[in-house]
Amino acid sequence: MLRIGRGAWGLVLLSAALQIVIFPLPGVYWLCWVAVAPLLVALLRARASETLQLDGHRQARLPATPWQGFLLGYVCGILWYLGTCYWLYDTMHRYGGVPAPVAVLILVLVAMYVGLYHGLFGFLVAVVAGRDGSQRRALVAVPFLWVVAEFALTRISAFPWELLGYAQTANPTLTRLATLTGVYGLSWEIMLVNSVFAAAFLVVRERRRWLLLAASAAAVILQAGQWITLPAAMADHAALLVQQNIPIQADWTRDYFENTLRDLTSRSVRSATDAGAPGKADLIVWPESPSPFYTSDPLFQNAVSAMARQAQTWVVTGSIGVEPAMHSGGRESKVFNSAALVSPQGEWVGRYDKVHLVPFGEYLPFPRLFSFAGGLTKEVGEFAWGTSRSPLDAGGRRLGVFICYESIFPDEVRQFAVQGAQALVNISNDGWYGDSGAWKQHLQQTEMRAIENDRWVLLATNTGLTAAIDPAGRVVAQVPRKERSVLVAPYALLSGTTFYTRHGDWFAYLCAIISAGALLARFGLPVAHRKPGKIAE
């Protein structure tokens, strides 16, 4: 078996580190333009025991074999996940009651699973390059192959966390591309620049300067969009987003339950009737939280109904929805992670049941195999799957409500807008993340959903960040984290749809088709002759 050079492993480590720091909380996002370039160089110069004679005195390393490419990409992906989603350990150990060694094991196993998609990318790059060492062909295909790997991660895995394009969420001019292509278009653009940087280190020195100059200029120009100020989005409605700040591990005695409910309702009513509020709020939103707020509990129902009547306002509240046994064919009751809609008359008129549940958090996949992780599931609950993404109708205002990590699935969120949602509401319990960077990472991905669908997003969280996000992905109002407070959040109802909203992941499918063409061409074209002084053909 051909040996992978030590230099290739060093480049993999460098690339993994760069891919970690471009996301929050380090958030050195401008490094995204070079973050994957070291991995590309490693993939295309991996074989240490076999070289290619380019002229009478110069040799160059050949690209990795397909399995070497997979291994290099796989290691990079594992390290990236461990460095970016390290907070998963604390979530399982501190809040899920999973013993520390088992929590570490689960984190590593999940990293090994998610890392497979980096491995898929490395494998595809090596296949396209081929044993003949066509670095140019591989570099041209790289942006398309990367999108294919991200698309597979989103559609197949349960955790497409922080795709590469999210690194540019705060660049309001560049992210206009997402209204056409979704986040995948941004990933493609970032990888295109990375490919040029990689090419600069794979060619002879005479051409390197020009490629570096071209890649640097592209990165600077594209990044400069961050400093271009777009016009403020017009808002003619106001919502009250209640940041409950309920402890994850609260001791829910009856007195604590009643006092918490009383405090939350009084704050909501007081804020709704406050004369100093900038315009009467027409919506109150309570987030997903660790509280035992069951829609079937008369105490909870009566309190929320009274609050809606006193405030004369529609209410969306995170809750535990229950489908009675008599509605489930005689079987035992189903329990859902839900968002209930209450009218200003106090009537419970609608409910959204979460469709995409969190594995190991809201259900336990393969219970016998993963019985050791039952502590986390027991802490949160064993929920049933919802079946509909229809907007909730709040007196003519159509609200697309999605819960917590559903915000990281682009095609799923857009379905609310396709079905007529005029504003999006994301309720989340980010208290599970503690003080790690996860809350900021989650916010970043939620902002992208606003951009893709040209919709306001009302983000109500248990511990923060609670915010109003405009259609350009900008946070225009927020309250401090880890405080019980109420945010008067401006928003507007929009009815137009973006190209991405209407056509979904067409760009990702196009990249898949082009990638398939590159793979077919790899096996269908004759080996090109190599010329001295140029990147290998």
Joined together, the tokens standing for residue 325 give 């046994």
Active-site residue, from 150, 288, 323, 447: 288
Residue 57: per-residue pLDDT: 38
Residues 323 and 450 in one domain: yes
Cβ neighbours of residue 409 closer than 8 Å, sequence gap 6 or more: 154, 160, 356
Residues 487 and 513 in one domain: no
Residue 368: per-residue pLDDT: 61
Other beta carbons less than 10 A from residue 326's beta carbon: 8
Q: Considering the domain boundaries, does residue 497 fall inside one?
A: no
At 361, the pLDDT band (50, 70, 90 cuts) reads confident
362 vs 54 pLDDT, higher one: 362
Spatial separation of the C-alpha atoms in residues 458 and 533, rounded to whole Å: 56
From 124, 173, 159, 234, select the one nearest 451 (Cα to Cα): 173
Residue 432: per-residue pLDDT: 84
Contact 265, 304 (CB under 8 A): yes
pTM over 0.75: yes
The CATH number of the domain holding residue 462 is 3.60.110.10
Active-site residue, from 32, 76, 85, 404: 404
Residue where the block lists tokens 């398939």: 516
Joined together, the tokens standing for residue 400 give 């697309």
Residues 141 and 65 in one domain: yes
Q: Considering the domain boundaries, does residue 531 fall inside one?
A: no
From 505, 508, 506, 498, select the one nearest 179 (Cα to Cα): 498
Spatial separation of the C-alpha atoms in residues 283 and 460, rounded to whole Å: 12
What's the whole-number mean pLDDT along residues 491-511?
97
Spatial separation of the C-alpha atoms in residues 78 and 368, rounded to whole Å: 26
Torsion of CA 305, 310, 311, 316, to 10 degrees: 0
What's the whole-number mean pLDDT along residues 321-333?
63
Q: Is the pLDDT of residue 143 over 90?
A: yes
Q: Is 220 strand, coil or helix?
A: helix
Residues 289 and 396 in one domain: yes
Spatial separation of the C-alpha atoms in residues 163 and 445, rounded to whole Å: 9
Q: Is 207 strand, coil or helix?
A: helix
25 cis-preceded (ω within 30 degrees of 0): yes
CA distances to 260, 261, 354, 402, 430 from 405, in Å:
25, 25, 10, 8, 10
At 467, the pLDDT band (50, 70, 90 cuts) reads very high
Residues 241 and 221 in one domain: no
Q: Is 335 strand, coil or helix?
A: strand
Cβ neighbours of residue 373 closer than 8 Å, sequence gap 6 or more: 92, 96, 98, 102, 106, 360, 364
Q: Considering the domain boundaries, does residue 410 fall inside one?
A: yes
Task: Quote the DSSP letter at residue 13.
Answer: H
Q: Is the pLDDT of residue 155 over 80?
A: yes
Joined together, the tokens standing for residue 350 give 């609608």
CA distances to 28, 33, 169, 456 from 451, in Å:
21, 21, 9, 9
Q: Considering the domain boundaries, does residue 496 fall inside one?
A: no
Tell me if residue 354 is catalytic.
yes
Torsion of CA 247, 253, 255, 261, to 10 degrees: 50
Residues 276 and 154 in one domain: no
The conformational region for residue 400 under phi > 0 = left, psi -120 to 50 = alpha, else beta, is beta
Residues 196 and 216 in one domain: yes
Q: Considering the domain boundaries, does residue 42 fall inside one?
A: yes
363 vs 451 pLDDT, higher one: 451
Q: Is 48 strand, coil or helix?
A: strand
Q: What is the mean pLDDT of the chain?
A: 89
Residues 211 and 331 in one domain: no
The count of domains in the chain is 2
Tell me if residue 258 is catalytic.
no
Residue 112: per-residue pLDDT: 97
- Residue ranges with strand state E in 354-503: 392-394, 397-403, 423-428, 457-461, 466-469, 475-479, 485-491
How many H-runs (helices) and E-runs (strands) does the chain carry?
A: 17, 14
What's the whole-number mean pLDDT along residues 448-457?
98
Residue 128: per-residue pLDDT: 95
Q: Is 513 strand, coil or helix?
A: helix
Contact 442, 481 (CB under 8 A): no
Cβ neighbours of residue 8 closer than 8 Å, sequence gap 6 or more: 42, 43, 45, 46, 48, 64, 72
Q: Is the pLDDT of residue 47 over 80?
A: no
Per-residue burial over 100-137, b if 16 or more Cβ lie within 10 Å, else e, is eebbebbbeebbeebbbbbbbbbbbbbbbbbebbbbbb
Residue 60: per-residue pLDDT: 53
Residues 313 and 187 in one domain: no
Residues 59 and 169 in one domain: yes
CA distances to 1, 214, 265, 483 from 243, in Å:
58, 47, 12, 7
Tell me if residue 189 is catalytic.
no
Q: Is the pLDDT of residue 410 over 70?
A: yes
Partnered with residue 479 across adjacent β-strands are 466
Contact 515, 145 (CB under 8 A): yes
Percentage of the chain modeled with pLDDT above 70: 88
Q: Is the dihedral of CA 104, 107, 112, 115 positive or negative?
A: negative
Residue-wise pLDDT tens digits, 216-245: 999 999 999 999 888 999 999 999 999 999
Q: Is the pLDDT of residue 327 over 60?
A: no
At 373, the pLDDT band (50, 70, 90 cuts) reads low
**DSSP code string of 288-300:** P-SS--BTT-HHH
Percentage of the chain modeled with pLDDT above 90: 73
Q: Considering the domain boundaries, does residue 144 fall inside one?
A: yes
* Residue 182 lies in domain: 6-229+505-524
Residues 214 and 72 in one domain: yes
Range name among 427-436, 456-465, 473-482, 511-520 with the lowest pLDDT average: 427-436
Active-site residue, from 354, 362, 447, 452: 354
Element (H, E) at 314: strand 314-323
Cβ neighbours of residue 3 closer than 8 Å, sequence gap 6 or more: 47, 48, 49
Q: Considering the domain boundaries, does residue 530 fall inside one?
A: no
Contact 421, 391 (CB under 8 A): yes
Query: Which stretches of 393-462 are DSSP H helices?
Result: 410-418, 438-453
Residues 218 and 268 in one domain: no
Q: Considering the domain boundaries, does residue 535 fall inside one?
A: no
